[in-house]
Amino acid sequence: IIPIVVSQKLFGTSPLVYFIAPLIATIAMSLFLFRILAKIIGDKIAFLSVLLLAFLPEMAKDSSHPRVSTFATLYLITTLYILFHIHDRRPETAPKYYTFIISASICTFFMYMASESSLFALPGLMFIVFSIRSSIRDLAVYSISLFSFYLSETLLYFLFTPFSLGRLSVIRSHVESLDNLPMQSLLGLFYRYHPDKNDIYLTILIFTAIIAAIYLLSKYKDKRLQALSLIMFSYLFFLTFLLKSLNPLIPFNNFRERYFIPVVPIMWCLVTIALYRLIEKWRGIKDAGPSKEAGSNHFFILSGFLITVTGITLFWNVLKFQYYRNDAFRCWQTNPLYL
């Protein structure tokens, strides 16, 4: 809700302002994702991958709607960018190093504030924090700072709202109000991955990403690939098996397709990297990595410009073809280029 409030304070409350925050969040997420991928597979492939990701229907919808998944995805990718940055560069001075660690914990906390279920990715984030220097101290700094932010928020809830336990009270009242149907068997929990419950592209992406992660884990010892895989597996595990009751077997929450969205860029990264490594192997290249220094400033600026144009174009197309089929002029009036 914070980005929405900020956008309204800055730009007012006209209907067009509704779209500003999610569009900016999606563009920022795309830029950080590009930087992450560029360090692993090079600029050109990274840019192409992020550009294609923008064309996925759910990602296009997220860019034009202020949904919690829009901002949770941004915060997750930002956290990963910070952690991968210190993984690659290893700041020498302790104050600078722990500034990055605490910055990552702040982004993780914002991710939690956007969507509590985003914490399903926490095992992978904690893994990369620990693996940078194999330090329990680093993990403790990250975890304690994150927990202190949570306690501070809970204290504010306790002092100024009827919810004495903070978000736990809110979640409990919400879950108790849901009338979820019990599952006939454990296999029923996997029905959410069936094409009847998702767009076919999302089902294909999930299972392709699982295969890609298994391949990468079996062939490479890169801590970054291990972290990406762990984030995906932990997210899917908790999303699948989080239960309200064991007897009868009742899911914690009604399933929505958009619950997958924060981890979709991670799955997309795994598929892209696996394809890149397979092509390298097919060409007889032995783990050469990026062909040039990844993430150059000139290419980063160009990529930012192209991703911005693509985001605005997709935003316009989503409005035109999905929400305003019978009123093209009204659609054009909601396009930022109309201004």
pLDDT in tens, 39-68: 888 888 888 888 888 777 778 777 878 888
46 CA to centre of own chain: 17
In 3D space, the residue among 4, 21, 18 whose CA is nearest the CA of residue 323 turns out to be 18
27 vs 202, which has greater pLDDT?
Answer: 27
Say if CB 251 and CB 245 are below 8 A apart: no
Judge whether residue 255 has pLDDT over 70.
Answer: no
Reported pTM: 0.82
- Four-CA torsion 262, 267, 272, 276, nearest 10 degrees: 140
Total Cβ atoms within 10 A of residue 309: 12
- DSSP code string of 99-115: HHHHHHHHHHHHHHHH-
List Cα–Cα distances, 75 to 114, 159, 166, 178, 333, in angstroms. 9, 27, 21, 28, 30
Cα separation, 282 vs 249, whole angstroms? 47
Q: What are phi and psi of 73, to 5 degrees?
A: -65, -45
Facing residues of 243 across strands? 251
Q: What are phi and psi of 250, to 5 degrees?
A: -125, 125
pLDDT score recorded for residue 121: 94
Q: Which residues of 2-28 are buried (b: 16+ CB within 10 A; e: fewer)?
A: ebeeebeeeeeeeeeebbbbbbbbbbe
pLDDT in tens, 267-316: 999 998 998 888 878 877 665 555 444 434 444 554 555 556 555 555 55
Judge whether residue 211 has pLDDT over 80.
Answer: yes
Mean pLDDT of 5-23: 85
Single-letter amino acid code for the residue at 100 = F
pLDDT score recorded for residue 266: 95
pLDDT in tens, 88-126: 877 666 678 889 999 999 999 999 999 888 999 999 999
Cα separation, 241 vs 111, whole angstroms? 21
Total Cβ atoms within 10 A of residue 47: 20
Mean pLDDT of 190-208: 76
Say if CB 206 and CB 193 are below 8 A apart: yes
